Amino acid sequence: MRPQSKFEPAREREPARRVFASELRETRYQFKDGEDEKSPNFVILPTGIRSNRIFIVGTLTEKQRQGDQNIFYRGRVVDPTGTFFISASSFQPEAMQQLARIEAPAFVAVVGKPNLYTTPDGACLVSVRVESITVVDRETRDLWVLDTARETLDRLDAFGTTDDSKKAQEEYGTRPELYKKIVYDALSQVQL
């Protein structure tokens, strides 16, 4: 890797956004921010914020090893609102090894990149390419639900006032009351 000069702007990692499964499942708008080969891909979440990295916590309910020469793992992680589909391949060897060692069911914390795929019949699917995955306890899962609820409500409070939320309204026709109900339903499952 070429050393960074004082004239070259530092590349900072994008923060991992907390998002419930039911919101991520509705995500359909993805774009590349820049012309550079290394420019990041973002999605606009329906509650109106861009993200190229998400942080999820839930129950890993199943895991499958696939492929013979190019091995990869797929898994399902369930939060109080629905299911995330995750994957890790040899392109992320550390994440793939972490996922391979975890036995389902287990609470897990995952940081990864959301990717959209269009099926031949035109359906859009969302998967999370795992960057790291760790076993956690139920208290951590419940704290994540609280944090995700707060961040979702904060996005809804700012809805319509930011460029990203205006784009979300244009792309999704977001109804804030629907996402508020999702938040309250998720909070009803927390046992603190």
Residue 65 confidence (pLDDT): 95
**CA atoms lying within 13 Å on the CB side of residue 66:** 9
Residue 13 confidence (pLDDT): 77
- Is residue 179 within 8 A of residue 23, CB to CB? The reply is yes
Residue 40 confidence (pLDDT): 85
Residue 2 confidence (pLDDT): 46
* Cα 83–chain centre separation: 11
Q: How far, CA to CA in Å, does 122 sit from each of 28, 30, 83, 105, 117?
A: 12, 15, 20, 32, 9
Residue 34 confidence (pLDDT): 81
Residue 61 confidence (pLDDT): 98
Residue 6 confidence (pLDDT): 61
pTM: predicted TM-score of the whole model, two decimal places: 0.89
Residue 1 confidence (pLDDT): 42
Query: Per-residue pLDDT tens for 141-188?
Result: 999 999 999 999 999 999 999 999 999 999 999 999 999 999 999 999
Residues of the chain with pLDDT under 50: 1-3
Residue 69 confidence (pLDDT): 85
- Is residue 11 within 8 A of residue 113, CB to CB? The reply is no
From its phi and psi, is residue 34 left (phi > 0), alpha (psi between -120 and 50) or beta?
Answer: left
- Is residue 109 within 8 A of residue 55, CB to CB? The reply is yes
